Each structure stands twice: as structure tokens, then as C-alpha cells.
Amino acid sequence: MEAVGVRKLPMIGDRIPSFKAMTTKGFIDFPDYYKGKWVVLFSHPADFTPVCTTEFYAFQKKYDEFRKLNCELIALSVDQVFSHIEWIRWIKENLNLTIEFPIIADDTGNISAMLGMIHPNKGTNTVRAVLIIDPEGILRAMFYYPHELGRNIDEILRAVKGIQTADKFKVAIPANWPNNELIGDKVIVPPATDEKTAEDRMKQYKGYAWWFVYKELEK
């Protein structure tokens, strides 16, 4: 039973809470604004900080790859929109890169708190949270990093590709896919749930055991 006054934070499989917010691209009504698209919603501790600047640079460099997956990026911090605008102007002028994705100005901290992006033991700024949300507004994956550790954008991109692949082909994705140490770029067939299917598994697929079989990804 949920304690009175305790906010339930979104978990994997939950519908993401809706909210309206000011961004560097104007007001949005989330997640309806992105209906039909995948979204990577990520928070950063603060504008005009070195690690966050490297992350924004890296996210923008990969933005086209995310968009090829029908996936949009949207950032968030507790800074005001004026700070966001000045920061991305600085990035353009000094690093010769235009940040194309919107940044939410959550200066009240309400959205960040609702999404579990503020962790009291790490201060009042947002941690480096990443939420992967599907086209129906369902939270599919979430990652948290401390202020001192910058994110690996390739891993976030891999996660989106992996979840989409799992959905499309009804398979599971191995560690380090598509460069898994045991099965390379192949995918895992879901384990059998009855004796007859288990008996046939090793006849139908390559594998290590009836509960661990794999196949080539369909083209």
C-alpha cells in the first residue's frame, strides 16, 4: 500500500506522466506532442558545465541516427529557458555545432521530481537520467548516472535499437549486441514454456541448451 504523500515514480512498463513545459523550441504537451515516435528524454545537472557540454555535443552528433529510428531527443534541467538559450548559443559559437533538439526549462523542479530525476543525496539539481519512451507513451528503459560520470551515447542508441528489434521480431537481445561474445549479432529465441516446445527447440535452432537458443535476425 502506497504511503500517504509519497509520489509514485514511473517505472518500466508504466505510462509516462503527462506535463506541459516551456522548451527552447516553444511549449510542448508531453507525451502527446511526440505521439507515434520514440523518445529519449534525458536530464542534465546544469547548463554551462563541462561534462554536460560534452554530452550535448555527443547527443547532437548522433541525432540523425536517433531520427532514423523514429526517435526524438529532448533534454531537461532545472535551469531557466534563458540559460538554455544562451548555453546552446555558446555551443554553436565556440564548438561550431547547432543543438537541434529541445531543452525543457524545469525551473520549478516539478517535472524533474515527478520523473524521478532529482535524487536528494546528490543535491537539488537533476542527475543524469535517461528515459526511453515508446510511441504509445510507455516507459521502456531508464538509466541513471551521477553528476561526475558522462553518458555513453552509443549505448543509449543501442538500447533504442535493441528494444525496437525485440518488439518487431519477438526476440530477446544479448549482452553487447550486436557484438555479443557468444552469439555475435544473432538474437535469442524466447525460452519454451512447455515440454514439447522445449524438446523441439534444439532441432529448430542452434543453441547451448533448450532454454538458450538463438537465430539470425530476419531481414
**Catalytic sites, residue numbers:** 52
**Inter-residue contact 137 to 19 (CB < 8 Å):** no
**Inter-residue contact 185 to 177 (CB < 8 Å):** yes
DSSP state letters, 75-120: EEESS-HHHHHHHHHHHHHHH-----S-EEE-TTSHHHHHTT-B-G
Instruction: Give the span between the Cα atoms of 87 and 25, in whole angstroms.
Output: 14
Contacts of 204 (CB under 8 A, 6+ apart): 213
